[in-house]
Amino acid sequence: MIIIPYFLGVDVGTSYVKTVLLENDAVVTHLIDKIEGNPGIAGKNAIKKTAEIAGLKEKKIRKNMAGTGIGIQKCPFIKHQYPDMVSVTKGTVTQVPSARTIIDVGALSIKAISLADGSGKIKDYSVNDRCAGGSGMFLELISKALEMSLEDISKKPLEINEIHHITSQCSIFAESEVIYLKNEGYDKVKIAGGVNDSIAGRTLSIVRKLDLNPDIVITGGMANNEHFVKCLSNRLGIKLTRVERPEYVGAHGAALLARDRLNGGK
């Protein structure tokens, strides 16, 4: 009887829980679920759903499981837990071995990670002060205020040449500024473009604390925002590499760490 090893990574973030299920090195399935209330319950539900999608018994995918993310401590049933910087790095360098700098922008956090040449080990890092003014959570607030989908905020500013710059750095004041501009009749797409550029500026302030070495890879949910990535790339003066399914990179890294653990790695 051949026993197929499965490895599950669970990333419990601020707003979402993500899972990635591997069969050896191959991705079997992945899932993203909104956290409503208790992160621990959200984590359990996500694991159950992942098993159902894969057509496997939950017990089977729980056998080799690892967790990560800001909310992972609310999931004591996940025995092996890793700092999100470690899992993000693991998931990134697996896809982009040439990565030397990682910029990870999620719902609440912005992280910049500098890697040692060729080793994939963390050399230095910088993180934000948890202000939502420079993150995906802020963009969700703006999406509601402008009555635009996140996809439109990502794509439509690419079609214009001018944006309306947002001056406020605090998320509360910036949201008020956006609402004021909308009510005054300013073009919503230009406002959205300004918001993306504002988040890029906030991200840049974190990234500049490190020595930047290419290849620079962008991960996290905000990496799906094409205009934000363009704004950040322009501010840095260098092209950014985007990993496949950037919002899952932490969960993918956790699954790989679970695999390494079974194979005798750390």
Residue 90 within a domain? no
Instruction: Please indicate, yes or no, whether residues 104 and 231 belong to a single structural domain of this protein.
Output: yes
Is 219 found in the same domain as 102?
A: yes
pLDDT in tens, 41-73: 999 999 999 999 999 999 999 999 999 999 999
Residue 264: band (very low, low, confident or very high) from pLDDT cuts 50, 70, 90: confident
114 inside domain = yes
CA distance 62 to 77: 10
143 and 194 part of one domain: yes
Residues 119 and 182 in one domain: yes
| Pair (155, 229) in one structural domain | yes
Domains in the chain: how many in total? 2
What's the whole-model pTM score?
Answer: 0.93
Residue 50 or residue 134, greater confidence: 50
CB 247 within 8 A of CB 224: yes
Within this chain, do residues 227 and 106 fall inside the same structural domain, yes or no?
yes
Would you say residue 85 has pLDDT above 60? Answer: yes
Q: In percent, how much of the chain has pLDDT > 90?
A: 82
In a domain? residue 91: no
Looking at 165-246, which runs of residues are DSSP E strands?
A: 216-219, 241-242
State the pLDDT at residue 164. 94
Both 229 and 256 in a single domain?
A: no
Same domain, 72 and 126: no
Whether residue 71 lies inside any domain: the answer is yes
**84-95 vs 249-262: helix axis angle to the nearest 10?**
90
In a domain, 55, yes or no: yes
Q: Residue 217 belongs to a domain with what CATH number?
A: 3.30.420.40
Cite the beta strand spans of the chain per DSSP E.
6-12, 16-23, 26-34, 65-68, 80-81, 101-105, 110-115, 122-127, 216-219, 241-242
Q: Are residues 103 and 226 in the same domain?
A: yes
Q: What percent of the chain has pLDDT over 70?
A: 95
Whether residue 234 is contained in a domain is answered as yes
Of 206, 214, 211, 207, whose CA–CA distance to 99 is shortest? 214
What domain range is 120 assigned to? 97-242
What pLDDT, in 10s, does the model give residues 211-256? 889 999 999 999 999 999 999 999 999 999 999 999 999 999 999 9
The verdict on 235 and 110 lying in the same domain is yes
At residue 108 the predicted structure's pLDDT band, cuts being 50, 70 and 90, is confident
User: pLDDT per residue over 157-198, tens digit each?
Assistant: 999 999 999 988 777 788 899 999 999 999 999 999 999 999
Question: Residue 1: inside a domain, yes or no?
Answer: no
Any domain includes 19:
yes
* Amino acid 119: pLDDT: 76
- pLDDT score of 266 more than 70: no
Residue for token digits 């990333």? 11
Residues 165, 220 share a domain: yes
pLDDT on residue 265: 59
Say yes or no: 119 and 34 in one domain.
Answer: no
pLDDT band per the 50, 70, 90 thresholds, residue 117: confident
Mean pLDDT of 75-101: 96
The per-residue pLDDT for 204 is 94
pLDDT at 131 over 80: no
Q: Is the pLDDT of residue 1 over 50?
A: no
